[in-house]
Chain A
Amino acid sequence: MTPASTPVQRPADARLLTIAADGAISHLRRSAFAAQLRPGDLVIANDAATIPASLFGVHQRTGRRLEARLAGRGSLAFADLTFSAVLFGEGDHRMPTELRPAPPEVRVGDLLALGPATARIEAVLDHPRFVRLVFQGDAAGIWAGIAAHGRPVQYAYMAQALALWDVWTPIAGPPAAFEPPSAGFALDWAMLGEIRWQGATFATLTHAAGLSSTGDAALDARLPLPEAYRIPATTAGAIQRARARGGRIVAVGTTVTRAMEHAAARHGRVVAGEGVADQRLGPQTPPRVVDAILSGTHEPGGSHYDLLGAFADADWLAKADIELEARAYRTHEFGDSVLIWRRRRVRQALAVA
């Protein structure tokens, strides 16, 4: 697949590879997504707006420049100013991470001057570049500082630097994500109207999508980090109603899947409220709630790809990979999409027959 290197969220020619519940693969225009729905289905998307999480500044004890990429937070609360963060040395995203100078060695209590904001290192986690930091000051001032000084996490394959509006989905709400919940780039307001026209419904949750990559194998192996989420009461209610009427639950993105499956595993069903999703999803964790996932195209090897294994057999995914490659689908955040319906339990059906 080729990287999509311009920040166009909804190119007119965006494509959608679908894997049906029996493994059949088809190729559609992504604008035909809503037509795949039936009356009673429920589409759920992540309404997290993306925080400009890349903050350049100075490590005050050594005077050395660094970049702190905010990576996670224990809650979605306004006043929660404690973040996990990955530190990078001087340079920028155009430089391969392994060629970037290491960040200065940080100790607990060190201060980072990040534009107008100051953060204190509260803990060095189990990797020298992975820290927990606390911003110093009142919450309104800190958010103003992050808004003014932060930049969206950038990608080396993009031709130009991303602006904040490039990384907000059309439905973006509270600032919670550290990288965009990019499956939601497929949505626009016309499509939400088409979903309703199909007799399906639309709902949202908020999930703090974390960093997709740190450029460090040891850190990348830990991804995804625990991610805070919030499920509104109206969304929990919509899920119960959809299931009661036999409707299917379609998750827009891995983050929505992770949040709903976490809530369902913990409570037996999706209940309203906040949580922190800390589980990994894959072939060994069949979905309890989600019937289909609309996602970007992911290359084998990462946690996103593993998650797709919860929906489709490995050989189906391998076949889809060949098709994506052969038909030159575009990959990464601004690329094409896949829609994967949860595999039908063929063996059970055979046993009954």
Chain B
Amino acid sequence: MSIHVQTPQSPLRVAVTGGTSGLGLALVRAFVGRGAKVAFVARTASVVTAVAAETGAVGIVGDLARKDDVHRIALQVTAALGGLDVLINNASDLGPVPLALLADTDCEDFERALQTNLLGPFRLSKALLGTLAGAAREARGGVVVNISSDAAVTPYETWGAYGASKAALHHLSHIWDAELAGEGVRVLSLDPGDMDTPMHAAAIPGADRRALQQPEDAAEGVIAATLSALPAPERVSP
């Protein structure tokens, strides 16, 4: 599969949040491997530096759950990539760890899940919407991918904070996709399925890891769905 590009001189510009582990790291590696210009965001400076050195992607230190960080992140993304075609809101928070009944969930854990899984993606997408709409006008991009979960649609016990936040993100994605049709910007909600990641291990410590897909394989599905949402090359106006 080859990355959609307008010309060989302008590779796809992709930003991935939560880009230092699990699915996010797999997406960073896979997009870089296909020749995309990639920036990623994560909270821990030393890990960001290591992943940037390994992949050649631009590493940005920031916490999507903090309102003050969002515009600073957006500034660095657009400065480094000279625009943006695809934003992948992948960073997620499980809520209470170990998972807990809602009645046993601390409000602070629920709030953190909502900040990271719902308000962070909303704020970052909004801060980058001018850039994404510009990419759509240039018929080269304009896709937001919100990483969802089957917990967004199925009410699993003990997944209350995570499931409620992902359900809200899923619904937001569909509303925003409809609202932005006129701008040519797509907002997708994608469920990558259960993966063998640090987050999955935190949620279900005893899981049989052999039954889980690898994040590299899940990344392929996300990339395929992203590329199919991009403007078709033949629609590029001269």
Contact = CB atoms under 8 A, between A and B. Distances in A.
B58 interface: yes
A346 B58 CA distance: 57
A11 interface: no
A147 B137 contact: no
Contacts of A143: 75-76, 79-80
Interface residues of B, number: 30
Max chain A C-beta neighbours (<10 A), residue from B60, B71, B72? B71
B183 interface: yes
B127 interface: yes
Given A49-B74, A144-B76, A189-B183, A173 B130 contact: yes
Given A173-B78, A173-B130, A233-B138, A144 B61 contact: yes
Nearest to A170: B130
Contacts of A170: 129-130
Contact of B137 (A139, A193, A203): A203
A140 B59 contact: yes
A233 B10 CA distance: 13
A165 interface: yes
A174 B84 CA distance: 9
B182 interface: yes
Nearest to A203: B137
Contacts of A196: 182
Interface in B38-86: 58-61, 70-76, 78-80, 82-83
Interface centre among B134, B139, B183, B238 (most CB of A within 10 A): B134
Interface residues of A, number: 34
Nearest to B132: A173
Contact of B131 (A173, A192, A235): A173
A103 interface: no
B130 A148 contact: no
* A139, A144, A165 — most chain B CB neighbours (10 Å): A144
Contacts of B139: 234
Given A140-B59, A144-B60, A237-B238, A175 B183 contact: no
B82 A174 contact: yes
B183 A148 contact: no
A204 interface: yes
A51 B73 CA distance: 12
B167 interface: no
Nearest to A164: B71
A171 B133 contact: yes
Interface string B130-149: 11011001110000000000
Contacts of B80: 78, 139-140, 143
B11 to A, nearest CB: 14
B134 A232 contact: yes
B228 interface: no
Nearest to B39: A140
B237 interface: yes
A235 B137 CA distance: 9
B71 A165 contact: yes
Nearest to B73: A147
Interface in A27-50: 47, 49
Contacts of A139: 79-80
A232 B137 CA distance: 10
A47 B183 CA distance: 15
A78 B131 contact: no
A200 B139 CA distance: 19
Given A144-B61, A173-B130, A234 B79 contact: no
Contact of A140 (B58, B74, B78, B138): B58
- Give me the 5 closest cross-chain CB pairs, A-B, nearest first: A171-B130, A147-B72, A173-B131, A164-B71, A173-B130
21 contacts: A47-B131, A49-B130, A140-B59, A140-B80, A143-B76, A143-B80, A147-B72, A164-B71, A165-B71, A165-B127, A169-B130, A170-B129, A170-B130, A171-B130, A172-B131, A173-B78, A173-B134, A192-B182, A204-B130, A204-B134, A232-B137
